[in-house]
């Protein structure tokens, strides 16, 4: 992944609650989180639905917009002050002309697909306790980096339910 980070030509500092991407915008950049945390969400009948988080040493991308060059329905917002490195798609495409770099990108996309499958299983798991335990086992750092109210939204439960589960 450090090969991708080295492609960065720009650093952005986002304040708490500042948006990196808004619904309806095209964003073909790849972002590497140096510090802080972000959430990726969309609005469903005016209710926010968190679908992903990014924190230190994570890559974040509006993948649908990155791949298609079209507007996306997702928002990317800083949860707290966040420092990110920006990799522009044009530079990244040159990077992909080398076979070993394409293999690295394929591995990253495969891991993303597997994470997405895990996420879908989490959402379809009926028991809030099981959802909590699955995410805790898979991503314990999440619980140190992200506020409970965002984790609760991600897990499709109330903040009170999450608090109760954490205590038990």
Confidence tier at 168 by pLDDT (50, 70, 90):
confident
pLDDT in tens, 109-139: 999 899 999 989 988 888 999 999 999 999 9
Sheet holding 47-55, edge to edge: 19-21, 75-78, 37-44, 47-55
Q: Which pLDDT tens digit goes with each residue over 58-97? A: 999 999 999 999 999 999 999 999 999 999 999 999 999 9
Count of CB atoms situated within 10 Å of the CB of 105: 16
pLDDT in tens, 100-111: 999 999 999 999
* 153: confidence class by pLDDT, cuts 50, 70, 90: very high
The set of residues, in sequence order, having a beta carbon less than 8 Å from that of 61 and lying 6+ positions away, is: 29, 30, 31
User: Among 1.20.210.10, 2.60.120.10, 3.30.1540.20, 2.60.120.20, what is the CATH number of 2-95?
Assistant: 2.60.120.10
The pTM of the whole model exceeds 0.85? yes
Mean pLDDT of the chain: 94
């Amino acid at each position: 992944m450090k090969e991708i980070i080295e492609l960065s030509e720009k650093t952005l500092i986002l304040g708490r609650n500042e948006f990196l991407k808004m619904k309806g915008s095209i964003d073909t950049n790849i972002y590497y989180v140096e510090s802080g945390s972000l959430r990726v969400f969309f609005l469903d009948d005016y209710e926010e639905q968190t679908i992903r988080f990014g924190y230190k040493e994570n890559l974040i991308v509006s993948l649908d917009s990155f791949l298609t060059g079209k507007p996306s329905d997702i928002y990317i917002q800083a949860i707290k002050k966040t420092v990110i490195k920006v990799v522009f798609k044009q530079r990244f495409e040159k990077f992909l002309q080398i076979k070993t770099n394409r293999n690295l990108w394929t591995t990253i996309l495969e891991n993303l697909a597997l994470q997405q499958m895990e996420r879908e299983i989490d959402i379809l798991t009926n028991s809030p306790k099981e959802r909590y335990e699955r995410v805790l086992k898979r991503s314990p750092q999440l619980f140190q980096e992200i506020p409970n109210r965002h984790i609760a939204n991600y897990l499709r439960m109330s903040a009170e339910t999450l608090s109760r589960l954490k205590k038990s």
